[in-house]
Amino acid sequence: MIPIALPFLGDEEANAAREAILSGWVSQGPQVAAFEREFSALVGAPYATAVSNCTTALHLALVAANIGPGDEVVTASHSFIATANSVRYCGATAVFVDINPDTYNIDPLKVAEAITPRTRAIIAVHQMGLPCDLPALAALARQHNLVLIEDAACAAGSEIRVDGIWERIGKAHGQITCFSFHPRKVITTGEGGMLTTSEPEFDRKFKLLRQHAMSVPDTVRHGASQTIFEQYLDVGFNYRMTDIQAAIGRTQLTKLDGIVTRRRALAARYTEMLGNIEGLRLPSEPDWARSNWQSYCVRLPDHVDQREIMQALLDQDIATRRGIMCSHREPAYAGEKPRHGLRQSELAQDRAILLPLYAQMTDDDQARVADAVRTELGM
Ligand SMILES: *Cc1c(COP(=O)(O)O)cnc(C)c1O
């Protein structure tokens, strides 16, 4: 069976977890602090805060930006449902805009059209690891005094060229960037998330609110020679990452560049092997973006049935997934009529499929996938 994805974990991560377990401190502690330092250094952001997953990271980002009832947040419907849900958690309204069919990312022109006097933030999703047009979105956010939050759940290791210089996603191009370490992403801690920012006030709020808004963290109380009583300064959350996860994450970070290099080579090879198939549209990068290729998404020719080809490939032990879902079509969002056209988002869900891609994928297995796709498409 060729799976859709496979986490790149081995003995090094198992040993790191073992050491953390045997250290006597397993909840948020020194491993989390070290993971934050190393992650912020890697992406080039002044501050990083580790949390339990990217859904909680997005929620914290919105809470820290004071988003609440009556506020609107412009974002993509074409995303994992957690993006829209994070807005709902705050009692605010997600205003969905359509994607550009070439990049699967939100179109800054459509974002501009969706801004109203109630708009307070934009959540830009770097879908499947491909960076959004951040300079355009950042300019829009500045012009309208909005908070630009990046949903970089899939984009650890992706890069964008800004003023001629390649920079990693997370280097505070918007105000806040949120990452996921779920096993479907390029590096994993089982479950896990990270927020990066260049603004100390946001960082202070993330670190306070992820731990119940506790005035003195447990790490400080344990090391103190005087008795300290803590206070709860606000209604916070338990969004902590554990030291076991952080120890795994630190090891994964050392492998990130190698994983991305391999994924980029595999993506380039798919593009080579699947070229010249009538009607099949392959993904591509703008010249200012380098994707980590969290997913390789192809648009099927018009006459091909999405479910049928996925089943035909599954019958040959090749797992695929349909295109990224649209939140506005899910029962949870059925009560809200979208304000803006979402045709490209719907087409991407209905007409695209994701092919298997993971760092350990062998050239032979990849050739088997490409051959099967070619045969099923009658080429
Ligand atoms: C995976 C994903 C999330 C949620 O991440 P978790 O860590 O599983 O909470 C959010 N947004 C996007 C775009 C994702 O792909």
Please say if the pLDDT value at position 222 is more than 90: no
53 lines ligand 1 (CB under 6 A): yes
Cβ neighbours of 127 (radius 10 Å): 28
159 lines ligand 1 (CB under 6 A): no
Please say if the pLDDT value at position 302 is more than 90: yes
Residue whose tokens read 């092919």: 355
- Residue that terminates a domain, selected from 216, 237, 254: 254
Distance (angstroms) between ligand 1 centre and the Cα of 147 equals 20
Residues 59, 61, 65, 70: is their CA dihedral positive or negative? Answer: negative
What is d(CA 180, CA 250) in angstroms, rounded to the nearest whole number?
A: 14
The answer to whether 245 and 263 have CB atoms below 8 angstroms apart is no
In a domain? residue 5: no
* Domain interval for residue 315: 256-376
Domains identified in the chain, total number: 2
Q: How confident is the model at residue 48 (pLDDT cuts 50, 70, 90)?
A: very high
Please say if the pLDDT value at position 97 is more than 90: yes
- Based on the fold, state whether residues 118 and 222 are members of the same structural domain: yes
- Residue that terminates a domain, selected from 254, 272, 287: 254
pLDDT of residue 217: 80
- Based on the fold, state whether residues 250 and 260 are members of the same structural domain: no
267 lines ligand 1 (CB under 6 A): no
92 lines ligand 1 (CB under 6 A): no
**Ligand 1 atom with minimal separation from the 55 CA:** 9
Residues 130-144 have pLDDT tens digits of: 999 999 999 999 999
Q: What is the CATH number of the domain that holds 264?
A: 3.90.1150.10
Residues 14-27 have pLDDT tens digits of: 999 999 999 999 99
In a domain? residue 23: yes
**Ligand 1 atom with minimal separation from the 82 CA:** 10
Three-state DSSP state, 318: strand
Distance (angstroms) between ligand 1 centre and the Cα of 367 equals 29
Three-state DSSP state, 44: coil
- Residue that terminates a domain, selected from 202, 230, 254: 254
| % of the chain at pLDDT higher than 90 | 95
- Based on the fold, state whether residues 212 and 279 are members of the same structural domain: no
- Provide CB contacts within 8 A for 78, sequence distance 6+: 98, 99, 104, 125, 127, 324, 325, 326, 327, 342, 344, 345, 348, 349
Cβ neighbours of 70 (radius 10 Å): 10
Residues 152, 155, 157, 161: is their CA dihedral positive or negative? Answer: negative
Please say if the pLDDT value at position 223 is more than 90: no
